Amino acid sequence: MRTTIIAVLLVFVPAVRAQKSPTLAETVSWMHNFADDRGSGANFSSSGCSGVVTWYKTASKTADNVYLTFSFSFKDLDPNSVHSVHTIISPPADRNMWRATATTTNNEKKVDVLNHNTQQHEQDDVIEGIPFYSSDDATRFAKALRRAVTLCGGKSSTF
């Protein structure tokens, strides 16, 4: 009996150790591709621990159609605030949508929001996120966003 247990452990323990969590580069690459494939009216890009969410006025993702740009550092986000929310029709969504959103640690105004219509910059404490047509897609994106925040050293809010 003891020999069987040891043999089973010798087979399964290395397999468990071999499974690695995705790196930051793998995580943000997945986020970019997933947002491009399943997102609506927005896109996601990143470089290291910096991220950008761009919203478009309509489904056309062209430079002259940009509505808002959210620029942020994953390190500034509270990993516990990352979640999926149901939203009512609002730009850039063309119907009820779900978004993966996050707020900054302690609600500090560290997200740069550029309104392309007015060319005005504003500091905010929230990333409105990528709109998705399904709750499942927004939840999956939020899971990856939380991983990126954690890998970049994002801290939980004090209160």
Rg of the chain over Cα atoms, rounded to whole angstroms, equals 19
Phi and psi (nearest 5°) for 93?
-70, 145
Q: Please check whether residue 14 lies inside any domain of the structure.
A: no
pLDDT at 7 over 90: no
Q: Please check whether residue 34 lies inside any domain of the structure.
A: yes
**What's the confidence (pLDDT) of residue 58?**
79
**What's the confidence (pLDDT) of residue 40?**
87
Q: Please check whether residue 84 lies inside any domain of the structure.
A: yes
Q: Please check whether residue 11 lies inside any domain of the structure.
A: no
Look at 144 and 92; give whichever has higher pLDDT: 144
pTM of the predicted protein model:
0.83
Exposed (0-12), middle (13-18) or buried (19+): which is 45, by Cβ within 10 Å?
middle
Task: Find all residues with CB under 8 Å of 57, minimum gap 6, and list them.
Answer: 65, 66, 67, 91, 92
Q: What is the pLDDT of residues 21-80, one digit of tens each?
A: 999 999 999 999 999 999 988 999 999 999 999 999 877 888 888 999 999 999 999 999
Q: Please check whether residue 159 lies inside any domain of the structure.
A: no
Q: Please check whether residue 3 lies inside any domain of the structure.
A: no
Instruction: Give the chain's domain count.
Output: 1
**What's the confidence (pLDDT) of residue 97?**
86
Q: Hey, what are 156's tokens?
A: 């939980």
Q: Please check whether residue 59 lies inside any domain of the structure.
A: yes
pLDDT at 6 over 90: no
Closest CA to 137 of 26, 42, 67, 55: 42
Asked if 46 contacts 24 with a C-beta cutoff of 8 angstroms, the reply is: no
Q: Please check whether residue 140 lies inside any domain of the structure.
A: yes
Which range of residues forms the domain containing residue 88?
A: 23-151
Residue 10: pLDDT band with limits 50, 70, 90: very low
Q: What is the pLDDT of residues 73-115, one digit of tens each?
A: 999 999 999 999 998 765 555 577 899 999 999 999 999 999 9
